[in-house]
Structure 1
Amino acid sequence: MLSQLFSVGVSALLATSIQAGVIQNKPRDGVIALDMQMEYSSELMKRQVAEHDYFVTPNNWPKVVLPIGSNKDEVELVVDTGSWLLQVPDVATNCTKCLLPNGKLGLYNSNTSTTANKTGKPINFGFGANAYYHGEWVVDDVWFGPNFKIPNTLFNDATEIGSLWPYGILGLSKPTKGDENQNIVWNAYRAGLINKPIVAFTQRNSSGNSLQLFLGGHSKSQLVEDYTWTSIENKNFVAHVDFVNINGTEVKVNQTITFDTGNFPVGVSQEVYDGLLGSFPDDPNNKKGSGKIDYNLIKDKTITVSIYGKTYNVPLIAFIEPNCTGQHCDIIIHVAVWNWGTGFTRFLNLALNYDNGSYIGIAGWKPSNTNDIVAF
């Protein structure tokens, strides 16, 4: 997510108590695998980022449901490569929209969890005027199954959340130096649950709604080739996009872009916007500039994207709203900050290695409804 604003009362909090102890019920072969849901809503919501306006499909972020604390209170968390911290909605928020997929409220109760260590230290974390998490640093267990957990995890026990997102956040970007314990991948690695501090994201089928999150490993079934790793020098989850080729027309991009699962659309400059949309097929059903395209004109087309000098083939439907098969599908490219969300990145295999700096891993994607999960 963009425009991350972060303030804490202390710089190094509970360094000794956060050291996670190894537990016996480990995930299989040092890999934690989680299914992610990506809902779809045709209702578009306007959201302002920096000085630009663009549209976000309200529910279209990958999410997971995780139990927190001794009572295993379930909360729904947006999987976000644009931030690094775990934001957990507490019952004190009185959030009536913090619903689980089954329609029940998903809120954590730090007062009744016998494993919670309430520090009394405030934390204010925000992404904008109506998107913020105000709360307290708490250390508790995060469960990934009935028999294993990441113990002693530090997170924001949010007692007040903004109106824009009725979800928590599972931040997966690399933390700033000295704040490694504010990240669940590092905690899983230090607890001995995963073999390497690497997170990976995979889409299993071409519908774009079957996604998986892996800690410490990945699925070979969706890989065209092995991951190519590039140092990003402790930056956010970023990649340098050289160009996009649509229908034989090469549109120069030449920008370092945040690949952000906490956002959905594709943000570009006006020049790149004009170039990309001008390269779409002529459409008798939609006027130029309408921001819409007939699905049948692009459903079988592939674009070429050059990232760090290596080309990847991506379905052209990565640039339209998911699950639309009609004549007036929304194009998700907008004039905005350089941030490409899940709408596009769901058609790449992406990974982030936190060890010795940070490295982004990219591999070409192919659809598969099977899994061949391996550790990195």
Structure 2
Amino acid sequence: MLSQLFTIGVSVLLVTSIQASITPNKPRDGVIALDMQMEYSSELMKRQVGEHDYFVTPNNWPKIVLPIGSNKDEVLLIVDTGSWLTQVPDVATNCTRCLLPNGKLGLYNSNTSTTAKKTGKKINSDFGGNAFFHGEGVIDDIWISSDFKVPNTLFNDVHDLGSLWPYGILGLAKPPTGEEYENIVWNAYKAGLINKPIVALTQKNSSGNSLQLFLGGYSKSQLVEDYTWTSIAHENFVAHVDFLNINGTKINVNHTLTFDTGNFPVGVNQEVYDGIIGSFPNDPNNKKGSGKIDYNLIKDKTMTVSIYGKSYNVPLIAFIEPDCTSQHCDIIVHVTSWNWGTGFNRFLNLALKYDEGSFIGIAPWKPSNTNDIVSF
């Protein structure tokens, strides 16, 4: 999740939908495919980080709805590469803002699920301020569709939910050694449902509202070439960014950061921020420092991003709010902690391999309205 929080002062419901499909193959040669659609809210709210004032749109995280337990209680979960534990809001929270995309209340009831096994282990996950999940470890089934489940997954059955996020978390980072069953990817692999313990994320088009999640496989349609795998020991989705090249201007980054779908903006230091903003074309419609750019000035431009010594072409619109085509699009780059969220990383094919240590997989991205789903 966020290494530094962008506090939201009002509740903003980002409407999402989910379609789950299973690609059945022989045992341990399957793929679980989940489509996520997101709508982006452009409501502006003022933020302050350090000495820098700027405006940030509400964070847009990819989310899915998953049924939990024997009663298949539906809950709305952030798909988060920045944490590894699944956090499920329970009816005990008395949360009235934990709404599903259809407007109904989405809470799990561990007391009525006949498949729930309570561990008695207290789990307190704190992300700062009013962002916390306090509860008890529970083992139960997570359903992918009406007749397909990942059995016996341990998660935090949340009884006390912070006010910042009215939803739970589907953590996809690698769990600590010995606690692998606290992760849906590893559990799906151990249950023989997927071929390899690998999670992949893909963006289908450039609008920013069509993210896909794959367990055990990926879509070849959005790949320019195969994944390049790099060992990251037991870290989260980390990557070392060497430099950016925008409009012929090379910006040295030289920093290891987290690709975090539980975050949305792009966090950099002051020097890199100045380099990025200074490399944008002159804009008669927006003053320098306004935090905005005319979409038409950058819509066809790309930048080169060097990660672990390999260069990738990424659309320059990765640095503005998704699906904006106006003359005043919000720039999502800010001076804060080194954490690059969905706004940027949706334009790379990203994967995390859980066994044999941890490996991040990166592949160049291309838009495609078709899917050619294969297992790793």
The question of whether the paired residues in 1 share the 8 Å contact of 2:49 and 2:335 is answered with: no
- Structure 1: runs of 5 or more not aligned: 5-24
Question: Which residue matches 1:68?
Answer: 68
Find the aligned partners of 1:341 and 1:136 in 2 and give their Cα distance: 29
Q: Distance in 1 between matches of 2:271 and 2:280?
A: 15
- Are the aligned partners of 1:62 and 1:261 in contact in 2 as well (CA < 8 Å)? yes
Give 3-state SS (helix, strand or coil) of 1:322's partner: coil
1:283-336 superposed Cα distances (whole Å, 9 cap, x missing partner):
011111111100110111111100011111111000001111111111000000
Instruction: Report the CA distance shift for 1:355/1:49 in structure 2 as closer, same or farther (over 3 A).
Output: farther
Work out the CA distance in 1 between the residues paired with 2:370 and 2:163. Answer: 38
- 1:170 is aligned to 170
Q: Deviations over 1:186-222 (max 9, x none)?
A: 1000000000000000000111110100000000000
Matched, 1:121 2:121: yes
Query: Could you list the per-position Cα deviations for residues 69-107 of structure 1 after superposition, in whole angstroms to 9, with x for gaps in the alignment?
Result: 001011110000000000001111111111111111111
Q: Are positions 1:31 and 2:31 aligned together?
A: yes
Could you state the TM-score of these two structures normalised by the residue count of structure 2? 0.91
Number of residue pairs the alignment of both structures matches? 356
- In structure 1, the partner of 2:241 is 241
Question: For residue 297 of structure 1, what is the amino acid of its counterpart?
Answer: L
Pair 99,352 (structure 1): closer, same or farther in 2 beyond 3 Å? same
> In 2 relative to 1, CA 289–56 (structure 1 residues): closer, same or farther, beyond 3 Å?
closer
The equivalent of 2:339 in structure 1 is: 339
Would the aligned equivalents of 1:39 and 1:59 in 2 still touch at CA under 8 Å?
Answer: no
2: CA distance between counterparts of 1:363 and 1:88? 32
Aligned-pair CA distance for 1:247: 0.4
SS in 2 for 1:343: helix
CA spacing shift, 1:52–1:177, aligned 2, 3 Å: farther
Counterpart in the other structure of 2:375: 375
* Residue in structure 2 matched with residue 291 of structure 1 by the alignment: 291
- Structure 1 residue 119: Cα displacement: 2.0
Aligned counterpart, 2:188? 188
* Shift, 1:248, TM fit: 0.6
Aligned positions of 1:181-330 closer than 5 A: 181-330=181-330
Q: Secondary structure at the match of 1:276?
A: helix
Classify 1:51/1:341 alpha carbon distance in 2 versus 1 (closer, same or farther; 3 Å). farther
Residue 81 of structure 2 is matched in structure 1 by: 81
Paired-residue identity, % = 81
Unaligned runs of 5+ in 2: 5-20
Q: What TM-score do the two structures reach when normalised by structure 1?
A: 0.91
One-letter amino acid of the structure 2 residue matched with residue 28 of structure 1: P
Q: Are residues 27 and 220 of structure 1, via their aligned partners in 2, closer, same or farther at CA, if it must alter by over 3 Å?
A: closer
Shift, 1:165, TM fit? 0.8
Question: SS at the partner of 1:128?
Answer: coil
Contact 1:27 1:148 in 2 (8 A): no
Task: Determine the C-alpha separation between the residues in 1 that align with 2:38 and 2:22.
Answer: 27
Q: What is the distance in 2 between the residues matched to 1:369 and 1:167?
A: 29
Cα distance change of structure 1 residues 54 and 202 upon mapping to structure 2, 3 Å threshold: farther
Cα contact 1:3–1:128 (8 A) shared by 2? no
The offset of 1:2, in angstroms, is 2.7
Contact 1:54 1:335 in 2 (8 A): no
* Pair 1:210–1:313, CA change in 2 (3 A): same
Structure 2 equivalent of residue 16 of structure 1: none
SS at structure 2 position matched to 1:42: coil
Describe the shift of the 1:48–1:73 C-alpha distance in structure 2 as closer, same or farther (beyond 3 A).
farther
Cα deviation, 1:119-164, whole Å, max 9, x if unaligned, reads 2221100111110001111110000011111111100000111111
Contact 1:98 1:106 in 2 (8 A): yes
| Contact 2:54/2:291, CA 8 A, preserved across alignment | no
2-structure distance, mates of 1:333, 1:89: 31
How far apart in 2 are the matches of 1:131 and 1:137?
19
RMSD of equivalent CA atoms: 1.8
TM-superposed deviation, 1:27:
4.8
